[in-house]
Amino acid sequence: MTAGAPLAPPRPDPARPPEHIREGRALASPLRLTVGAAADIGGVDRAWQGVVDVFAAVDAAMSRFRDDSEITRLNRARGPVAGLSRYLIAGLMAADRASRITDGRFDARVVVDLERLGFGGVRQAAGTSRPDPTDTRRLIRRDGRRGTIELVAPVDLGGIGKGLALRWAARRAAEALAGTEFLLDAGGDLVSHGSRTGEPWSIGIEDPNGGPDPLAVVVLHRDQAIATSSVRIGRRIGPDGQPVHHLIDPRTGEPGGAGMAAVTVASPDPAWAEVWSKALFLEGAAGIADVARRRDIAAWWVSDDGVLSMTAAARQQTSWVRAEARSA
């Protein structure tokens, strides 16, 4: 699974009691849990183990970078498969719903194009034609009597899978920590729980063009997620020798988001923050403001000329910007 462009984590405050931090890696991204100082060590360790367990289960279910994952088996089956885990079924259902809610801007059926353009992962779609973007059939066919699922086309659940992992892992951590505040960070996609010792969590939006300082600082609500889609990572040289990125427009099968460098979205749910960051990116610089405003999404975006823009909902959560930003 690939990670989104990172956001800057909160900086340590010398005046604040030291927080509990656990770190590792999962889904090809750094994984970090920051817990309020008041938590007991046993609760922190249980929370971290719950986080690790959830991410490991999602990796085994949804990673197209594993030859032994469930999604690889299902993608290659070209027919009904039984005995799939609840994690994979939930991921497929979420991807199906996301496609309908975003009017097809988010479409998990981009595996054929990712493989054609040379992006990593084990082969999933050999011999498969790219799906018709006007095909509005449901992503999966379920046979409740036989307990089987069949895909209409191979899928990539990388982004939404990480968002779901954050959702489920945050729930496990909240149960173990009994009300203590925490911030869970998976490669720059984050979810908060509670306030940071009475103050909000503050997150820096990093410059997708590689600048050393954040473009803005975002204040998270008590229980909120934030995710970024960016061309800063996931770039490579395509078959024709031209640079390409991994954010594929399902309408064309090619990298999309004309004029865009990055989109960040805040949402109550990390999976939907991930979905909308990608869907809005694919609207491109010409269309993103209208869609984000109409959907009342808290969104920040950077055009490829380095200009930061944001919706009114996003401005309400912005405590600082490096330079004056455009309002959408």
Q: How many helices (H) and strands (E) does the chain have?
A: 8, 19
DSSP 8-state symbol, 196:
B
Cβ 227 vs Cβ 264: under 8 Å: yes
Length of the chain counted residue by residue: 328
Per-residue confidence (pLDDT) for residue 42, from 0 to 100 = 97
Min mean pLDDT across 21-25, 201-205, 207-211 is at 207-211
Single-letter amino acid code for the residue at 192 = S
Residue 3 belongs to some domain of the structure: no
Position with higher pLDDT, 326 vs 228 = 228
- Tell whether 85 is covered by a domain: no
**Does residue 45 lie in a domain region?**
no
pLDDT, residue 179, reads: 87
With contact defined as beta carbons under 8 Å apart, do 223 and 268 qualify? yes
Q: Is the residue at 176 inside a domain?
A: no
Secondary structure (DSSP) of 262-314: EEEEEESSHHHHHHHHHHHHTTHHHHHHHHHHHTT-EEEEEETTS-EEE-HHH
- For residue 109, which of 79, 82, 89, 136 has the smallest C-alpha distance? 136
Q: Which helix (H) or strand (E) holds 32?
A: strand 29-35
Cα 233 to Cα 3, 243, 261, 310: the distances in Å are 8, 12, 10, 22
* pLDDT on residue 3: 36
Q: d(Cα 60, Cα 246) in Å, to the nearest integer?
A: 22
Question: Region 227-233: what's the mean pLDDT?
Answer: 88
Q: Which CATH number is 291's domain given?
A: 3.10.520.10
pLDDT of residue 308: 95
Query: Comparing 202-211, 252-261, 306-315, which segment has the lowest mean pLDDT?
Result: 202-211
Tell whether 298 is covered by a domain. yes
Q: What is the model's pTM?
A: 0.92
Contacts of the segment 308-317: beta carbons below 8 A, 24+ positions apart: 308/205, 308/215, 308/216, 310/216, 314/218, 314/266, 317/218, 317/219, 317/220, 317/221, 317/266
Averaged pLDDT score across all residues of the chain: 90
Residue 248: both structure tokens together = 């594929």
Intra-chain end-to-end CA distance of the chain, in Å? 32
pLDDT over 50 at 275, yes or no = yes
Per the domain annotation, does 99 fall within a domain?
A: no
Q: For residue 25, count other CB atoms closer than 10 A to its CB.
A: 12
Q: Which residue in the block uniquely carries the two structure tokens 């990673």?
A: 63
Model pLDDT, residue 16: 64
pLDDT at 244 over 90: no
Query: Does residue 101 lie within any of the structural domains?
Result: no
Could you give phi then psi for residue 14, rounded to 5 degrees? -60, -25
Query: What range defines the domain where residue 252 resides?
Result: 20-36+181-327
Give 85-108 pLDDT, tens digit per residue: 999 999 999 999 999 999 999 999
Mean pLDDT of 301-306: 92
Per-residue confidence (pLDDT) for residue 12, from 0 to 100: 57
Token pair listed for 156: 């990539």
Q: For 120-140, how does the pLDDT look when each residue is reduced to its tens digit (9 = 90+)?
A: 789 988 888 888 877 777 889
Give domain status of residue 4, yes or no: no
Percent of the chain topping pLDDT 90:
72
Can you give the pLDDT at residue 227?
97
- The pLDDT, as a whole number, for residue 292 is 97
Instruction: State pLDDT tens for residues 3-21.
Output: 344 455 555 565 566 899 9
Question: Measured between alpha carbons, how far is 221 from 196 in angstroms, rounded to an integer?
Answer: 10
pLDDT band at 327 (very low <50, low <70, confident <90, very high): confident
> How many domains are contained in the chain?
1
